[in-house]
Structure 1
Amino acid sequence: MKSLFDQQTAQDLEFETVRSMLAEVCYQDSARSRMQCLMPCLRKDDAVRALDQAHELLHVREVESGFPRLEFEELHMEIQRLGILGTPLDLEGFVRLIDASRLVNDLIEFFKTRDHLYPELNALVNQAYFTKEIIAPIEKVLDARLQVKDDASPELAKIRQDLKSRRREINRNFEKVLKRLTKDGFLAETVEAYINDRRVLSVLSNYKRQIPGNALGTSKTGAFTYIEPRENMALNNELEMLLDDERNEIRRIFLALTNEIRTHLPLIEIYQSTLTEFDFINAKVRVALKMDALKPIIADDILIELIDAYHPLLLLANKEAGMKTLPQSLYLDKFCRMMVISGPNAGGKSITLKTVGLLQIMVQCGLLVPCDPSSKFGWFQNILSDIGDNQSIANQLSTYSYRLKRMKYFLDVSNKRTLLLLDEFGTGSDPELGGALAEVFFETLYNCKSFGVITTHYANIKMKAARLRNAVNASMLFNSESLEPLFQLSVGQPGSSFTFEVAQINGIDQALIEDAKTRLSANKVELDGLIAVLQKEKSEVEERNLAAIESKKEADSAKEEYEALSDHFEQRLQRQQDVIEKNNKDLTNGKRMTQFINSYRLKGSNKKMLEEVKKFIAVEKSKLVTKKEQAKTKQIAKNVPSRSTVKKKQQQPKSPPKPILVGSTVRMLNGNQDGQVSEIKGKEATVLFGNFKTKVKLIDIEVV
C-alpha cells in the first residue's frame, strides 16, 4: 500500500531541518546522501527494526565500553578497481581496506558475546564474517607505518639496497664540495637546496662559472645560482633510474596483491554496506543524545498517546539558550480521533500540533523521539499537513486558493489511516462563509474516519467538535489574571480567543472595545464570554490543584520527618532509661554481694549463707529471662494487625462481581458518573466519560 507524505508536509512540520541535522553528523557521503532523502518507511516492520537498531546502539553508547569508533573512509573506488582486471589498487586503497576489515572484525567480536543484548545490531554485522585473509596479505607488504616494506619482494630489496648505496655516495661527494666552496666564500647564506629531488649548491651568481657542474636554476632575484656538483651528475642519473625501477616493482607488487584481494570482493562490498548502515544508525543516536530521545512503544492499534513529549527542534533551541521547555501530553484513538485546539495566538497551539506531526513522522522513519518511554505511536498510511501562509506565486494562487486545493487533495485521499495536521483551519476568507465551508470540510474528514489535530478560532468548528462522538475540544491554558500563556494543553473544552481581554490588557480604549461588542450578535459575545470564564475558572482550578498537590507533598514530607525524629528521640530516651536502670540495678546487686562477702569474712562459710547466694542469683536470672520475653512479645504485637483490620479483611462480597468487558458500562467505586470501556490491557482499562478519556485500574471500577 502506497504511503503519502509529500514535500509540503516535510516543510510544514520542519522535518527537513531534522534531516539536515542528521546528515551533518554522518561521517560518510553515502550515509549523508541517504539521510538527506530519509522518508517514512513503507512497511511498519521496517520502521520497528530501524527503531530497535537505534535503541540498541544508544544503549551501547550509554552503557558499554570498548565499542569501536565508527569513522572510516569509504571503499567505492576500491570496489570499482577490484572489478576491473589488470587495475591495481594504490597505497591509500590498501590502507582503507585494512582499516575497514579491522573495524568490521572488531564489531563482530564486540557483538559476538552480546548477541542476546543487541540482536538487531548483531544480525547487521553478521552479514559479514570475521577473517584476516584481507589483512594478512596486506600486512606482508606494508609495515606498521603503512609504507611498502623493503622485503616485499627480493627485487625490491635489491633495488632499495642500491638506492641506499647511491645516496650515501652522493651525500659524501656533496659534503666534500660544500666544505671546499664554503671555505672559498662562493656560497650564499643558505648553502644548499633541492631542485627536482636533487641536492644542489646555492652559489653566488658572481662565482657560478668557477664551479664545475650543472646549473639547474636561479633564485627569484638572480642573486643565487643552483648548481649540481659535477661529481654527482652521473650518480643522480643512476639514482633516478633506480627510483623508476622501484616504482615499477611496487606497481607489480600492488597488482599481485590486488589480484589476491580481488577474490574477497563480495565481502568488501558487504564491508561498505555494513559500515554505511552503522554510520546511518550512529547519526540517529548522536542526534538522539542531544535531545534525550528514546524508543517509544509501537502500538498495534491506530492511536497516538504522547506522554511528556517535546518538540525536538524547540527543545534543542531552548537548551542552547538555557531556557526550559514544557512537555505536552495527549491521546488520540478510534474513539477520540479528532482534536480541535482553540484559544488565543502565541499560546502554543501550533507547536502542539507540530509536535504531534513531527514525532509521528520521526517514529515512522525509525528515529528516536523525545518523550516518555511509555508513549505509544500507531501506524499511519498518510501524514498530511496544511500549516502557515503557503501562497503559490508560480501558479498564481492566493493563500486561500492554495488551501482549497490542498483541502481537495485531503478529501480525495483521507481514510482511517490518515493523520491530518491543520493549522488555523478555515482562515483566509470571509469568517462567516469560510467558517461554514470549513465546518463541511471538517465533518467530511471526520466521516472518513481520519485522525487529526486541528487549530482554529472558529466557534462553529468548536461546536461541531463538541457534538461529534469521536472528536474532542482542547485549549491551551492561560494565567487567569495576566492572560500569559502556560503552554499546557487542556483537553475537554474549547478555548476562548480572549479577543477583548487581550485588547484591554494592551491598552485599547474601553469605549472602542464596547463599541466592537455591540457590532457582534449577543449570542456570539455571550458564547465567547462564557468560554473565557470557563477557561479562566479551569485555569484557576488547575492552579489550585497544583498548589494542593505541592502542599500535600510538603505536609507528607514534614510528617515523615516528624515521625522519624519522634522515633529517634523515643529510642534515645529509652536507651538512656535502660542505662540508668542497669546502673541502679548493678549498684543494688553490688551492695548485696558486698554484704555476702563481709558476712563470709566474719562468720566463715556456712550452708545457710550459700543457699541465700544461690537464691539471689536465681532470682536475678529469672528477671533477665522475663524481660527478654516481654520485649519479644512487644515486637510481635507490633506486627499483629488490629482487630478492625482483620475484620475488614475477612469481609467478603455478598455476590461475585460482574466481569468487565470492552463496551461495559462502568462506574468508579468512589464515584457516581457512568462511563464506557473502550479498551482493556492487562490490569488497566481505558474508559470514556463523555468526551473525557482516562486509564483506570480494573479493581477501581465496577459494572453498573
Structure 2
Amino acid sequence: MFSPFDAQTLIDLEFPAIKSWLEKYAIGPTAIGRIQQLEPSNDFQLVEQELLKSNELLAVRKAGETFPQLDFEELTEELKLLPIKNSVLSQEGFYRLSKASDLCNQLVYFFDKREKDYPLLYSLFSDIEYTKEVIEKIDHVFDKTWKVKDNASSLLSEIRNEIKVLRNQINRNFDREMKKLIRENVLGDTRETFYNDRRVLTVLASHKRMVSGNVVGSSKTGSLVYIEPQINVELNNELELQIDEERKEIYRILKLLTAEIAVFLPLITAYQSVLTELDFINAKTRLALELDGHLPGIVRQMNVELIDAYHPILWKSNKLLGKPTFPQRIQLHQKSRMLVISGPNAGGKSITLKTVGLLQVMLQSGLLIPVHPNSKICFFQQVLSDIGDNQSIENELSTYSYRLKRMKHFLKVTNRRTLLLLDEFGTGSDPDLGGALAEVFFEELYKTECFSVITTHYANIKLKADQLPHAVNGCMLFDTETLEPLYRFNLGQPGSSFTFEVAQINGIPQRIINEAKLRLDDRKVKMDHLLNELQKEKNYFERLNNEHREAQEAADEARTYFLEKKKHLEKRLLAQQELTDKNNKWLILGKKMQSFIDRYNSNSKKKDVNKPLLDDVRTFIAMERGKTEESKRKEKLKAAINPVAKPAKKKKSTPEKDEFQQQKIVVGSTVKLIATKQSGTVEEVVGNQITVEFGFLRMKVEREKLMWIR
C-alpha cells in the first residue's frame, strides 16, 4: 500500500535519522510522541503555520532575547485527578503545578508586548491569563523544601509539637541508658542502630539478659542482639500514633488544597496544551539552530529554487570528520520540471537527488531546512522515490522486479503536483534493453507533468532530456586535470560518466582500460570523449570567467575609491581656496584700516587736522560698498542667465518677428537681456553664442535669450 509520502520514500531519504536528532531536543513525552509520529503532510495551510511558528521562535532565539527557559514536567496525572471529586494530588503534583504556572506567567509576560513581532506564538496564549492565585494557594501549604508547613493547620501544628516533645524525651532516655551500658561493657562496637525507624541498642548476645527491654532482632551471625530500652517502649508507641495522626492531617490538608486548585482546571489544561506545544516547536527550533536551518520563501506556483542547499546528514557527518561540504544550487519550474543528472560515480549525483528529496519532506513536516533564506519552495501533494538497491525477499522480487513494481505505481499516481526521485534510472537489467524501456518510462512520466529529479548513466535518457522542452540536463562536475570529483552541480548540460578516469584513479591498470575501450562501440567512446572535452572546456572558461569577474570587481572598487578620494580632495581644495581668498581680503582691508589708524593725529589741537583722513575713510568705505553691490549684481545676472526657477512669462510675439530681431544682433549692437531687462553692448558673435558687456561684466549669452534694441 503506497501513501503520498510512503514509508519506503522516507527510509530512502533517511528521514528517520532527522527525527532521531529532533527527538533528543524534546523535553516531555507528548512532544517526543509527536516527533515519533511526525510525517510530511500535504495539508499546505497546516504545514505553513507550523513553519511560521518555528521561524518565529528561531527569530526569538537569534535576537538574543531573555526568553524563559522551557523547564517543566507535564501535568498528565494531575489533569486526570483534578476532575474527580475527593481526589488528592501528591506533593510532587503540586510542585509540577506551581512550576508550570510560574513558567506560563513568564511566557505570557514575554509575549505581552510582542504580539506584532510574534503573532502566532502570541496566539498560543489566548486561553491563559497572568495569575499568581495557583502559586499562592500552593505556597500557603508548602515551604521552600516542598514539605507541608507546620502552620498549614492548627491541628497539624499541635501534632508536630507533640512529636517533637516525644522525640526529645525518647532521645534523652536512650542516651542515658546507653551511657550506663557502655560502662558495663555489654554493648557491641556499633553500640546503636535503627530498627523499624526506632532507635535500638546493639547488645552482645552473651549479655542480653542484663538489659531490660524488647528484643526486636539479631545480627546474621547471632553475636549481637537489638534491644529497644524498656523506658522508651511506650513512648515509641505514642510517637507512632502521633505520626499516623500527622499523616492523616496532611492528607486532609492536601485534599482541601486539591479542591481549591480544581477550580482552575481550564487554566491548568491550557498550561499543559501550551507547554507541550512550545516543547514541540522548541525542539524543531533547536534542530534548525544546529543545522543552520532557515524558512525559504513558500510559493504557490510550482517552483523549487534551492540556493546554498546542504544535505543535513552529510553536512553533520563531514563536520565531525573536519571535511568540507559543498552547497548545491538546484532549480525546478514549469519549463524545466524534469531534471536529469549525470556524471561520474561517487561524484555526488545521488546526494544531490537526496538533498532535494530530504529537504522537501523536512519542509512538509514543518521543519526549517539548511538553505539560503532567499530560496523558494512550493508544496507537493506527494513525494515518491526509487533509490538504492531494494529487494523484496518476502515476495521473492529482484532489484529490477521491485523497481518495475514501483514504476507501475508511479505511472498510475503521479500528477503535476508530484515530486518523483529516481536514482540510477533504468538500471538492473540488460543495458540496451533496460535503457530502451527507461526511455519509454521517461516519456510517459513526462506526459504526467510531474516534477522529477533523475540520475542516470544512459546516453539516450540524456539525449531525451535535451529534446523535450520541459526537461533539462545537469551534471556533477569532475576535475579533468586531477581526475577527482568536485561535488558541485551544474545545470544545463549532461555529464560524462568518466568511467575510465574513475577506474584509473582507483588503481585499474591502463592496459585493462585500453582493452575495454577497444571493445566499445566507436560512437559511444566518441560521445563520452566529447562530453569529457566539453566539461573540460566549461571548467576552463568558468575559471577564466571567475578570474575576470574578480578582476573587474577589484577594478570597480579601485575606481570608486579613486573617484571618492578625488571628489573629497577637490572639495577640500575648493574650501581651502575660498578660505585663502577670504583671509587675503580681510588682510588687505586690515592693512588699509591700519594705515588710516597710523595717519590719525590725536595730539594736535587743531579742529580739522584729521578732516582729510576722514574724507579718505569715507571714500574707501563707499568704494568697498560699491564693489559689494557690483558683486551682488553679477550674481543676480548669472542667476538670470541660467535661471533655476521657472522663467517669467514672455510677451506674446510671432516666431517670425523674434527670429528677425535676433538676426539683427551683430558686433556693436545694443541688446537687452530678456530675463532681467538689463542692456549691454555686443562685443563678439560666434554662432549662437553672443559675448555681451553689461557694465563691468562680460558674459556669453545664447542668442535666444537676448532682444535687439539698436
In the alignment, the residues of structure 2 paired with residue 50 and residue 244 of structure 1 have an alpha-carbon distance, to the nearest angstrom, of 53
Alignment check: 8 A CA contact 1:108 1:130 kept: yes
In the alignment, the residues of structure 2 paired with residue 207 and residue 309 of structure 1 have an alpha-carbon distance, to the nearest angstrom, of 85
Matches within 5 A, 1:383-398: 383-398=383-398
Q: Which amino acid aligns with 2:611?
A: K
Asked if 1:170 corresponds to 2:174, the answer is no
Name the counterpart of 2:156: 156
Alignment check: 8 A CA contact 1:108 1:126 kept: no
Compute the displacement of 1:205 (Å). Answer: 6.0
Task: Find 1:607's aligned residue among 594, 611, 618.
Answer: 611
Q: Which amino acid aligns with 1:301?
A: Q
Q: Which amino acid aligns with 1:119?
A: P
In the alignment, the residues of structure 2 paired with residue 209 and residue 408 of structure 1 have an alpha-carbon distance, to the nearest angstrom, of 94
Compute the displacement of 1:280 (Å). Answer: 0.7
Compute the displacement of 1:334 (Å). Answer: 2.1
Higher-Rg member (1/2): 2
623-632 or 24-33: bigger deviation: 623-632
Name the counterpart of 1:481: 481
The residue matched to 1:532 in structure 2 has which SS?
A: helix
Asked if 1:294 corresponds to 2:328, the answer is no
Alignment check: 8 A CA contact 1:596 1:609 kept: yes
In the alignment, the residues of structure 1 paired with residue 596 and residue 22 of structure 2 have an alpha-carbon distance, to the nearest angstrom, of 94
In the alignment, the residues of structure 1 paired with residue 583 and residue 382 of structure 2 have an alpha-carbon distance, to the nearest angstrom, of 85
Matches within 5 A, 1:444-483: 444-483=444-483
In the alignment, the residues of structure 1 paired with residue 634 and residue 292 of structure 2 have an alpha-carbon distance, to the nearest angstrom, of 57
Name the counterpart of 1:674: none
Compute the displacement of 1:257 (Å). Answer: 2.7
Change (3 A) 1:570 1:39: same
In the alignment, the residues of structure 1 paired with residue 502 and residue 629 of structure 2 have an alpha-carbon distance, to the nearest angstrom, of 81
Name the counterpart of 1:11: 11
Alignment check: 8 A CA contact 1:383 1:419 kept: yes
In the alignment, the residues of structure 2 paired with residue 172 and residue 46 of structure 1 have an alpha-carbon distance, to the nearest angstrom, of 71
- Percent sequence identity is 53
Asked if 1:399 corresponds to 2:389, the answer is no
Q: Deviations over 1:311-356 (max 9, x none)?
A: 1222233334444332222221222210001111222211111111
Q: Which amino acid aligns with 1:389?
A: D
Compute the displacement of 1:284 (Å). Answer: 0.1
Name the counterpart of 2:256: 256
Name the counterpart of 2:26: 26
Alignment check: 8 A CA contact 1:302 1:333 kept: yes
Change (3 A) 1:580 1:297: closer
444-453 or 216-225: bigger deviation: 216-225
Alignment check: 8 A CA contact 2:426 2:438 kept: yes
Q: Deviations over 1:190-234 (max 9, x none)?
A: 554433222344556665554444444556676765543333222
Compute the displacement of 1:506 (Å). Answer: 5.5
In the alignment, the residues of structure 2 paired with residue 381 and residue 514 of structure 1 have an alpha-carbon distance, to the nearest angstrom, of 49
Compute the displacement of 1:144 (Å). Answer: 2.8
Compute the displacement of 1:156 (Å). Answer: 1.7
Name the counterpart of 1:326: 326
Name the counterpart of 1:124: 124
Name the counterpart of 1:138: 138
In the alignment, the residues of structure 1 paired with residue 429 and residue 632 of structure 2 have an alpha-carbon distance, to the nearest angstrom, of 90
In the alignment, the residues of structure 2 paired with residue 532 and residue 627 of structure 1 have an alpha-carbon distance, to the nearest angstrom, of 78
In the alignment, the residues of structure 1 paired with residue 630 and residue 136 of structure 2 have an alpha-carbon distance, to the nearest angstrom, of 84
CA RMSD of aligned residues (A): 3.4
Name the counterpart of 2:112: 112
Q: Which amino acid aligns with 1:55?
A: N
276-285 or 243-252: bigger deviation: 243-252
The residue matched to 1:143 in structure 2 has which SS?
A: coil
Name the counterpart of 2:99: 99
In the alignment, the residues of structure 1 paired with residue 55 and residue 632 of structure 2 have an alpha-carbon distance, to the nearest angstrom, of 58
Alignment check: 8 A CA contact 1:480 1:537 kept: no
Compute the displacement of 1:558 (Å). Answer: 2.6
Alignment check: 8 A CA contact 1:457 1:497 kept: yes
In the alignment, the residues of structure 2 paired with residue 433 and residue 398 of structure 1 have an alpha-carbon distance, to the nearest angstrom, of 17
The residue matched to 2:370 in structure 1 has which SS?
A: coil
Change (3 A) 1:72 1:626: farther
607-616 or 418-427: bigger deviation: 607-616
In the alignment, the residues of structure 1 paired with residue 258 and residue 602 of structure 2 have an alpha-carbon distance, to the nearest angstrom, of 116
Compute the displacement of 1:364 (Å). Answer: 0.9
Compute the displacement of 1:467 (Å). Answer: 0.9
Give the TM-score of the pair, scaled to structure 1.
Answer: 0.82
42-51 or 83-92: bigger deviation: 83-92
Compute the displacement of 1:498 (Å). Answer: 1.9
Alignment check: 8 A CA contact 1:187 1:203 kept: yes
Name the counterpart of 2:704: none
Change (3 A) 1:569 1:303: closer
Compute the displacement of 1:153 (Å). Answer: 2.5
376-385 or 257-266: bigger deviation: 257-266
In the alignment, the residues of structure 1 paired with residue 629 and residue 524 of structure 2 have an alpha-carbon distance, to the nearest angstrom, of 87
Alignment check: 8 A CA contact 2:305 2:329 kept: yes
Q: Which amino acid aligns with 1:308?
A: D
Matches within 5 A, 1:244-643: 244-504=244-504, 508=508, 510=510, 512-567=512-567, 595-600=595-600, 606-613=610-617
In the alignment, the residues of structure 2 paired with residue 365 and residue 631 of structure 1 have an alpha-carbon distance, to the nearest angstrom, of 73
In the alignment, the residues of structure 2 paired with residue 210 and residue 622 of structure 1 have an alpha-carbon distance, to the nearest angstrom, of 138
Name the counterpart of 2:700: none
Alignment check: 8 A CA contact 2:362 2:368 kept: yes
Q: Deviations over 1:616-644 (max 9, x none)?
A: 6787899999999999999xxxxx9xxxx
In the alignment, the residues of structure 2 paired with residue 310 and residue 297 of structure 1 have an alpha-carbon distance, to the nearest angstrom, of 17
Give the TM-score of the pair, scaled to structure 2.
Answer: 0.81
Q: Which amino acid aligns with 1:89?
A: L
In the alignment, the residues of structure 1 paired with residue 58 and residue 22 of structure 2 have an alpha-carbon distance, to the nearest angstrom, of 15
Name the counterpart of 1:237: 237
Compute the displacement of 1:503 (Å). Answer: 4.0
Name the counterpart of 1:637: none
In the alignment, the residues of structure 1 paired with residue 224 and residue 579 of structure 2 have an alpha-carbon distance, to the nearest angstrom, of 106
Q: Deviations over 1:488-532 (max 9, x none)?
A: 221111111122344455665555444333322222222222222
